[in-house]
Chains A and B, each alone.
Chain A
Amino acid sequence: MSFQHFSERWLPGIHDRLQALALGESSVPQRLASAAIESVTAPGKRIRPLLTMATAETFGLNAERVLDLGCAMEFVHVSSLILDDLPCMDDAIMRRGKPACHRTHGEDIAILAAFGLLSRAFEIVSSAVHGLPVERYAVRDYIETLSRATGFSGMVGGQVQDLHPPEHIDFHSLEYIHSHKTGALFVASASCGAYAAQAKLKHLEGIRTFSKNLGLAFQIQDDLLDVLSTPAITGKETNTPHRKTFVDLFGVERCREAVDTLFETVEDTLRTFPGGAPLLQGLVEHVRRRSS
């Protein structure tokens, strides 16, 4: 199955499942529920859930069995976007072509919705794993991976560095920001898919390398799109002063070169997987060609 077919098949399911899983079985105040549902169902690329599902499928596990796991990754991502858009942070106006969550529902609700979705993600992971094989990897591995990706050594750490960058920002500080803000969740999403399929250790390492490189390629690509595209296309707009990006440091051409090389590394790594991992190759190609 090509990635095109794979995503066409699963994107509607992901969308529906995100909506179904967002609130859980408990009764949630209407304002909070609306904020959460609107945030998770806003149009997005759903790269992370697709990454989890395609990875599991690559290593022989039916993608459907990790649908919830993939949705949990998306919840983490959406919660980070809501927090990222807050006035105390990026003060974003638009997100995914719509007004940012705090603009519609207020900062208090946005913050609570973000934390609700984050907690929900862990709840889903812990319950989703029960139905998966556990010979090589256990619940602890999922929780540890996701916690690291979201906490101080992941998105939180990266966000702080992003908000308070060093005076002279350089490659290392930028890489730190992006590998923690973006890359960490890419790695976690792919790793959880590999855990679920009980991938061998050597393949797990390969998956980590693949997703780490993919994460940075994705981020540098974002920086390029910010320069070469418009908010109408990217769906993002902020009030904050322009922050330094890879493009500022290295220029458009070098960044393009770097992105190409990163994608080549990603593809090389995928070739070491069973059958050459055509599904993940397709996902990479999909990310490579994106315009927003």
Chain B
Amino acid sequence: MSAGEAPDDLKKLLVSRGYLTSPVGRIFVRRLQDYLKSGRGLVRLQILAALFTGALLSILLGAAILIQDPRPETFLLSIYYFPVLSLFLFFLYLSLSGILWAAFRVQPLTHPIRLSRLLGLAVSLISAFMLWKPIFMPSGLLSIPTIALLFFTLAVYAILTPALMTLTLTRYHLPIENLTRARPWMIGALLTFVIVAVIAGNTYLSPSLPGFKEGVPPTLSSMPPRTMVVILDGVSIRGAKFSSELETILSRSTIVPYTDDYRSIPAVNWTEVTTGFPAAVNGVQTLDAIQVLGIERPFTRLPLSSILRTLRIARRSISTHTARLCPTLWEWSASAGIPSNVVNTWSSWPPWNQSPRIVSNLELLHRLSGEKSKAFQPGNIEENIPDTIPAGAPGFALDKIALETLRAMRENHPPILEVLYLPGCDIAFHAAVRNDLSDLLETENLLTDQIRYLGVALADLASETTRVILILHPGRTSSAPSYLCLYPSESPGIMNETVTSMEITPAILEWLHLPVHVSMVRPTFADPWNGSEIRTVSTFPPRDNSLSSGVRPPLEELRSLGYLQ
């Protein structure tokens, strides 16, 4: 080495020999080293590390679940998680130390300590990934359990890396001073920074819960024009053109593409479309729930539920206690005194008040099966459902009976707002894909016929109404875009901007001259109908709790929330 080298070289060399550094990291490693003095010290160390990190994660997960779903008995979950996680971590540490020993025994590595750090980080991330999947939220943003998981990753890294370093030092009989600094603390600080940033970002980006507060019914600025909202599920914009009637409607419509991130989960998708709020806010998440030993009410989502179920601590169950929180667009309208008829829609339970006349899809399915449902609410509107059972595949028959019911309701209860959900094409296509692909061609022909039938029927219905809001949803299994079609429009055509599914309800509320809730995502597209003055409210319409009491079958409520489909 000559005197002509870069000025920083001497400092680097000093650092490499353990000078100019803080002793903090070495304290921890030295303590770990003490465990290795005895024969069984390593196993003791692994057990302690597993217990420590297991306890830490159990508490974090329990606390996270408690925050999301407050109920006092949730602490039991931490107790259940503790042995499961500790055991998992113990085997993880055990196998890792074996790998490390074997690797160093065969061929000494140039930078064994660096490798230890890398391995520590890799294992932490892998274990985080293993736990990630069960608690990933469909909302796409970080859940509180996910944040807890990030902290867990940090804890595993902080424990594991010094342990691996200690093994390395012991293997090579290196003095502890060879660790210029046990960097897990530095990387730990970096991870902490990242986690804090993520939490801050998450807090900023998370869909905020609309502080649920019932207030006075919304008021109308003026009576809106007669409006029909039709959801065509399983029909793409290209498919709609098989019907000349639908093609005509589309050619005179303003067509707004919209994104529906959860189209494969109908309960989530349609709850967001019809309420204007995230499904998570409404309590609509999955198709089943998890009942945990010692905890009365089931969870809709639980980390490591499959392990808990294997251990007989938890079992699958159907939730009977979750209720949709935010009102649907027809509940807003009915609360304001707009006569509203609703047929075959999602999210029709629990009822908000007595004004909307709702024939749910369960009632229609009962009729299709030849039974007479006793689930009608509010009031007896069974008379609107035709007695004749339509022919055809179940999905198509459902569409037909829904259309006929809507017609009957028009005559018996003249509406200003109508909402109709027609899922026949989606049901038929989905069944064909799942059952026998050889029937696909035949299904396509049937679908074409069905679309033509729907086109004629909708054109007929549209002729008696002022505005038609047609939601073209290509179905659960399609990747084609979804569209919101506003008919008739003075400026027809497809808009360039894409909106989200949660902008549909607030837009419709504005066209119905209703105020929108302040927490709703305001529509961003140009309004072809020049809606009335935009008003906001900070409360929801009052709910008629008497209608939620036990006279209604729980199945109705479950179906409304996306179960039992």
Residues of A near any B CB (own CB < 8 A): 170-172, 175, 179, 201-202, 205-206, 208-209, 212-213, 216, 246, 248-251, 254-255, 257-258, 261-262, 265, 268-269
Given A170-B1, A249-B1, A258-B11, A175 and B17 touching (CB < 8 A)?
A: yes
Residues on B with C-beta less than 8 A from A257 are 7, 10-11
Is A205 within 8 A of B19, CB to CB?
Answer: no
Minimum CB–CB distance for A47 against chain B, Å: 18
Q: Which of B218-238 contact A (CB under 8 A)?
A: none
Is A250 within 8 A of B27, CB to CB?
Answer: no
Chain B: CB-nearest residue to A202:
B27
Is B23 within 8 A of A209, CB to CB?
Answer: yes
Is B11 within 8 A of A261, CB to CB?
Answer: yes
Candidates B2, B5, B13, B20; contact of A262 at CB < 8 Å: B20
Is A206 within 8 A of B23, CB to CB?
Answer: yes
Q: Is residue B18 within 8 Å, beta carbon to beta carbon, of the partner chain?
A: yes
Residues on B with C-beta less than 8 A from A212 are 18-19, 177
A250 to B5, CA, bound (A): 8
Q: Which of B12-45 contact A (CB under 8 A)?
A: 13-14, 17-24, 26-27, 30-31
Q: Is residue B205 within 8 Å, beta carbon to beta carbon, of the partner chain?
A: no
Is A262 within 8 A of B10, CB to CB?
Answer: no
Chain A: CB-nearest residue to B27:
A205
A254 to B1, CA, bound (A): 14
Residues on B with C-beta less than 8 A from A250 are 3, 5, 9-10
Can you list 6 residue pairs at the A/B interface with Cβ under 8 Å?
Answer: A171-B1, A172-B17, A206-B23, A216-B19, A250-B3, A254-B10
Other contacts beyond A213-B20, A258-B11, A261-B20: 4, CB < 8 A: A201-B30, A209-B21, A257-B7, A257-B10
Is B13 within 8 A of A171, CB to CB?
Answer: yes
A171 to B24, CA, bound (A): 25
Candidates B5, B7, B20, B31; contact of A265 at CB < 8 Å: B20
Residues on A with C-beta less than 8 A from B5 are 250
Question: 1/0 per position for B492-530, CB-CB distance to A under 8 A?
Answer: 000000000000000000000000000000000000000
Most buried by A among B10, B21, B22: B10
Minimum CB–CB distance for B77 against chain A, Å: 35
Minimum CB–CB distance for A59 against chain B, Å: 15
Is B7 within 8 A of A254, CB to CB?
Answer: yes
Is B22 within 8 A of A209, CB to CB?
Answer: yes
Closest 6 pairs (CB-CB, A-B):
A205-B23, A209-B23, A251-B3, A171-B13, A265-B20, A205-B27
Minimum CB–CB distance for A206 against chain B, Å: 5
Most buried by B among A205, A251, A255, A262: A205
Q: How large is the interface on B (under 10, 10 to 19, 20 to 34, 35 or more residues)?
A: 20 to 34
Is A208 within 8 A of B17, CB to CB?
Answer: no
Chain B: CB-nearest residue to A246:
B10
Question: 1/0 per position for B521-557, CB-CB distance to A under 8 A?
Answer: 0000000000000000000000000000000000000
Minimum CB–CB distance for A165 against chain B, Å: 14
Minimum CB–CB distance for A279 against chain B, Å: 19
Residues on B with C-beta less than 8 A from A258 are 10-11, 14
Minimum CB–CB distance for B186 against chain A, Å: 16
Is B1 within 8 A of A262, CB to CB?
Answer: no
Given A205-B30, A257-B10, A258-B10, A179 and B23 touching (CB < 8 A)?
A: no
Is A265 within 8 A of B30, CB to CB?
Answer: no
Minimum CB–CB distance for B37 against chain A, Å: 13
A151 to B3, CA, bound (A): 33
Residues on B with C-beta less than 8 A from A261 are 11, 14, 20
Is A205 within 8 A of B20, CB to CB?
Answer: no
Residues on A with C-beta less than 8 A from B9 are 250
A179 to B11, CA, bound (A): 16
Residues on B with C-beta less than 8 A from A248 are 3
Chain B: CB-nearest residue to A175:
B17
Is B26 within 8 A of A205, CB to CB?
Answer: yes
Residues on B with C-beta less than 8 A from A179 are 17
A104 to B20, CA, bound (A): 42
Residues on A with C-beta less than 8 A from B13 are 171-172, 175
Residues on B with C-beta less than 8 A from A209 are 21-23
Minimum CB–CB distance for A284 against chain B, Å: 15
Given A209-B22, A212-B19, A201 and B31 touching (CB < 8 A)?
A: yes
Chain A: CB-nearest residue to B20:
A265
Is B30 within 8 A of A262, CB to CB?
Answer: no
Residues on B with C-beta less than 8 A from A262 are 14, 19-20
Minimum CB–CB distance for A145 against chain B, Å: 14
Minimum CB–CB distance for A177 against chain B, Å: 12
Minimum CB–CB distance for B27 against chain A, Å: 5
Chain A: CB-nearest residue to B26:
A205
Is B1 within 8 A of A265, CB to CB?
Answer: no
Residues on B with C-beta less than 8 A from A170 are 1
Minimum CB–CB distance for B8 against chain A, Å: 9
A268 to B23, CA, bound (A): 11
Given A171-B1, A249-B3, A254-B7, A208 and B23 touching (CB < 8 A)?
A: yes
A172 to B22, CA, bound (A): 20
A206 to B26, CA, bound (A): 10
Residues on A with C-beta less than 8 A from B21 are 209, 265
A15 to B494, CA, bound (A): 98
A51 to B1, CA, bound (A): 34
Residues on B with C-beta less than 8 A from A265 are 19-21
Candidates A213, A246, A255, A268; contact of B19 at CB < 8 Å: A213
Is A201 within 8 A of B19, CB to CB?
Answer: no
A254 to B6, CA, bound (A): 10
Residues on A with C-beta less than 8 A from B24 are 202, 205
Is B22 within 8 A of A269, CB to CB?
Answer: yes
Minimum CB–CB distance for B252 against chain A, Å: 77
A91 to B362, CA, bound (A): 106
A139 to B372, CA, bound (A): 92
Minimum CB–CB distance for B14 against chain A, Å: 6
Residues on A with C-beta less than 8 A from B22 are 209, 268-269
Given A249-B1, A257-B7, A216 and B31 touching (CB < 8 A)?
A: no
Q: Which of B155-175 contact A (CB under 8 A)?
A: none
Minimum CB–CB distance for A176 against chain B, Å: 9
A73 to B20, CA, bound (A): 25
Minimum CB–CB distance for B6 against chain A, Å: 10
Given A250-B10, A257-B10, A258-B10, A269 and B23 touching (CB < 8 A)?
A: yes
Residues on B with C-beta less than 8 A from A269 are 22-23
Chain B: CB-nearest residue to A249:
B1
